[in-house]
Structure 1
Amino acid sequence: MTAQRPTLAVVEVTRSRPDRPEYHAKVQTLNATVVDAGTDGGWTVVRLAAADLDPAALLDLTDSADAVVIVGGEDIDPRFYGAEAGYEGETTHFIDADEGQIALVQRAADRGTPVLGICRGLQIINVALGGDLVQHLDDGIHRNVGVPIDEILSTHDVALRATSTLAAALGDTRISVQSAHHQSVGRLGAGLTPVATAPDGLVEAVEHEALPITGVQWHPEAPDSPATQLPLLLASLYRAVTAQTQVTEIAQAA
């Protein structure tokens, strides 16, 4: 990596949901917060919508990215984790977005590119590495039900594994988070380990045992999340890029 800012690809599902304007507005606000935090954190940010590109184009446009953030959105089509459609709470599926984001994570794993997944992004990571999903939660604390979209985010605590990179990044082993999800990781993908749990035992974050890949089920970019949470996660991603660059430079000099 040169003295230039590293490039962060922020990859969302779509930039167009004309049939769901309230939901779309909420998602766009959250995604814009990630973009702004990345810029403030020293990145050159490239924002891409996976459903608005074909998977090959998404891979091409992210080929030179130093790190990737995959943000929230709709359910992943169950065909990608060997399950059936027709489950409770099923949302619209964007198959091109699913395919493109899954391929992006798989390429990142092959290259050692740092990845942060947020909400759906965690689920994409898990599916990309061979895991599956719990298709619907009988909700308790993970989202507010029967409320306007602006009130859907639920506040709850998360316990972090003390030895995890995530705990080191956030500087604590117990944090407050904002979440709004009706699915969760089921069988873990290859190399992933759970590093955070909610009070009901639900897995709230995963890390790869050997690669700089982290996924959180909550929304650190939500307006009522602790103000430092997203910047700290992006700073950890930045350090992972720096570490990867140093390894590459040493290898090239040898």
Structure 2
Amino acid sequence: MGIQGRSLAVVEATRFRGDDPEYHGYVQLLVGAVIAEAQSQGWAVSRLAADDGVDALLARTEAADAIVVMGGEDIAPRFYGGSTGYPGESRHLETADEAQLALVRRAVERETPLLGICRGLQILNVAFGGTIVQHLGDDSTHRNHGVPIRQIMASHPVAIAEDSLTADLLGATSVDVQSAHHQAVDAVGSGLRVTGRAPDGHVEALEHETAPVIAVQWHPEDPGAPAGQLAALIAHLSGVQSAAVAAVA
């Protein structure tokens, strides 16, 4: 059976970033790419923000057949036992954090298909007791430093576990990715399995052990990402495994 008419909730932290219009504009490009790809696969897409709180987000996603949790600002440290004042700290949207954490937990409980992207991976990890490396350093290869926001994506390889859903979807155990993050998974949350790592060892992909929930730290929706990555990962949401990305040496 096809997915025509099935509902997909694309959830971002906030729709408004008036304090940083360049960043806001880039986020619109990334979210728009996810929506366009999902619609091309037959999904009826709802674009939602989490900053209206837990009750509002859970109500608006009650009937969703699948969910994408997008990238965005740093998660507030109180949700993973961290402290503020770290290098590179962004603003915190605690209401959105709390709502997305609740959404991810419900998705796992209900076994609702879910894809997390960048912050979405970190939300998944924190939702199940994981912690965060608060700053990878100014020499990190996970993003370009000191450049305009539209040039921030850095390319690097990721090794994918052979016996993982992520490898099945991407059709490869090594892929090049576009990333732009200054934080990463530290301790891995309960019930989660690491299925991708960067050359420096940092976690790049997670899967839930029992629920149809996967997440990547990179940005398959970036215009510079290898062709087919986003399509293959969104295909997961309908239970379609699509080897859409060729192996990268």
Is the pair's TM-score, using the shorter chain for normalization, greater than 0.5? Answer: yes
Report the alpha carbon displacement of residue 201 of structure 1 after superposing the two structures with TM: 1.2
State the TM-score, normalized to the length of structure 1: 0.92
Q: Name the counterpart of 1:181.
A: 181
Q: Tell me by how many angstroms 1:140 deviates.
A: 2.4
Q: Tell me how large the CA RMSD over aligned residues is.
A: 1.5
Amino acid at match of 1:200: D
C-alpha deviation, 1:156, in angstroms: 0.7
Q: Deviations over 1:122-153 (max 9, x none)?
A: 00000011111010102421000111111100
Sequence identity percentage: 55
Match in the other structure for 1:62: 61
- The question of 1:166 aligning with 2:166 is answered yes
User: Higher helix fraction: Structure 1 or Structure 2?
Assistant: 1
Contact 2:3 2:238 (C-alpha < 8 Å) held by counterparts: no
Cα deviation, residue 116, structure 1:
0.6
Superposition TM-score, scaled by structure 2 size: 0.93
When the two structures are aligned, how many residues end up with a matched partner?
240
Q: Following TM superposition, where does structure 1 have runs of at least 4 consecutive aligned residues deviating by more than 4 angstroms?
A: 1-4
1:237 is displaced (CA, Å) by 1.6
Q: Report the Cα offset of residue 14 of structure 1.
A: 1.0
How many Å separate the matches in 1 of 2:43 and 2:4? Answer: 9
Kindly state the Cα deviation for residue 5 of structure 1 after the two structures are TM-superposed.
2.2
Distance apart, 1:34 and its partner CA = 0.5
Matches within 5 A, 1:42-121: 42-51=42-51, 53-121=52-120
Uncovered stretches (5+) of structure 1, i.e. residues with no partner: 241-254
Query: 1:213-244: per-residue Cα shift (whole Å, max 9, x none)?
Result: 1110000000000121000101122117xxxx
How much has 1:2 moved relative to structure 2?
9.0
Counterpart AA for 1:98: D
CA 1:146–1:198: 2 relative to 1, 3 Å: same
Take 1:158 and 1:102, find their aligned partners in 2: how far apart are those partners?
Answer: 26
Partners of 1:67 and 1:4 in 2: how far apart? Answer: 13
CA 1:156–1:40: 2 relative to 1, 3 Å: same
1:239 maps onto 2:244 in alignment: no
Alignment of 1:125-204 (within 5 A): 125-138=124-137, 139-204=139-204
Residue 36 of structure 1 is matched in structure 2 by 36
Rounded Cα–Cα distance in structure 2 between residues aligned with 1:150 and 1:81: 30
Letter in 1 for 2:64: A
C-alpha distance after superposition, 1:39-79 (max 9, x if no partner) = 0111111100111x222011000001011100000000001
Residue 21 (structure 1) shift: 0.3
Return the letter of the residue paired with 2:225: S
Letter of the structure 2 residue corresponding to residue 178 of structure 1: Q
Distance 1:41 1:3 in 2: 8
